[in-house]
Amino acid sequence: MSDDSLSQLERLNRLREAGALSDSEFEDQKQAILAGNSQSGSGRPSFLMGAGIVAVIGATLLVLVWTQSGTNRADPAAVASPAELSQGELAVLDAPSQSPTPENTPTVSAGDRLTFATSDQVIGTNPAYLEQRLGIPREKGAGFLVFELGGCTVSYSASGSRITGFTVDVGPSCSPTIRGNRITSRTTFGELLRRESWGRFTSDCIYSCGNAADPVMDLSYRGSHATNFISIRYSTSADQASDALTLWEQGVRRDLGLSEYESPLDYEPFNCVSNPPADARRLMPRMTVRSISVTGDEVGPCSS
């Protein structure tokens, strides 16, 4: 058998593997090549048979390239003849198909993960599921997980097999979206109240807070049936809240009949307070948000 016949058989086999020829068509063409090889001494029959095979192969390649290249079939002028096909087009039969891999599979962006991470959906979920959605946490321990997402640090609290709440710090690089509202470092309590007027000003402690962190001012939205009893607390910084907290403390002292420096017998009126006096309230709308806490039970440590 000549080298030319072997080459034709190999090409036919590739066409069959590519689906361009059926098994019966392959066998017919193979027998024709073998028959032509046995008559090679006569010259003309072998030449005619070889020309026929080349024509079949060329036409098949044309159909394959036309189909895979997305050429407009309604335009005959757009169809190239076999002689006009480039080497790249002819090589399409030998190109392996690409299967989906981690490298070519679309990934979820950090922004999308942050949107989920700061949504009400995470409350009550399993911590293991949270890791599947958000990736490896920066920190993890008994009852807490911390993630870095989209420039934000999101800290979760957990009890048993459920997430009970999370806190996210707001800053120049972190602007989370909470219930459809994008919160930036310039978002004020006044803006939030214009969107949802039922929030109330609260503070965990306004006087003699012991070893607790500096007292801050909060705008709290207590959970209800409409929000699946999920509460939100927007907190400002201690330096912004200082003047208002001083006025608030003075108002409580007046109500109790205490002088400015007199120590109270009961500190309860200074803890978990709401409904500030008018002079303190006037300062609060201009305060900007510095952190957000979302819980499934209550707003912060004050449940009443």
CB distance 68 to 92 below 8 Å: yes
Write out the chain's pLDDT in tens, 304 residues: 666 777 777 777 777 776 667 777 778 878 877 776 655 544 444 444 454 554 545 555 444 444 444 444 444 444 444 444 444 444 433 434 343 344 443 445 667 899 999 999 999 999 999 999 999 999 999 999 999 998 999 999 999 999 999 999 999 999 999 999 999 999 999 999 999 999 999 999 998 887 656 778 999 999 888 888 999 999 999 999 999 999 999 999 999 999 988 988 888 999 999 999 999 999 999 999 999 999 996 544 565 4
N-term to C-term CA, the chain:
96
pLDDT at 57: 52
Residue-level pLDDT at 44: 44
Which segments within 98-191 are labelled E, that is strand?
139-141, 144-149, 152-159, 162-169, 177-178, 181-182
Check the CA dihedral 123-128-132-135 and report its sign: positive
Give pLDDT, residue 26. 76
Spatial CB neighbours of 238, under 8 Å, sequence gap ≥ 6 = 213, 214, 215, 216
Q: How many helices (H) and strands (E) does the chain have?
A: 9, 11
CA gap 195, 180 in Å, rounded? 11
Residue 153 is classified by DSSP as E
Q: What is residue 294's predicted lDDT score, i.e. its pLDDT?
A: 96
Q: Regarding beta strands 271-274 and 200-205, do their DSSP bridges make them parallel or antiparallel, or are they unpaired? A: antiparallel
pLDDT for residue 29? 79
How long is the chain?
A: 304
> According to the model, what pLDDT value does residue 27 have?
82
What pLDDT is stored for residue 247 in this prediction? 96
Please state the pTM of the whole predicted model.
0.62
pLDDT at site 8? 76
- Per-residue pLDDT, 67: 46
Q: What is the pLDDT of residue 198?
A: 94
Q: How far apart are CA 248 and CA 166, in angstroms?
A: 28
Q: How far is CA 292 from CA 175, 183, 216, in A?
A: 11, 9, 12
Apex CA 241: angle with CA 249 and CA 190, to 5°? 115
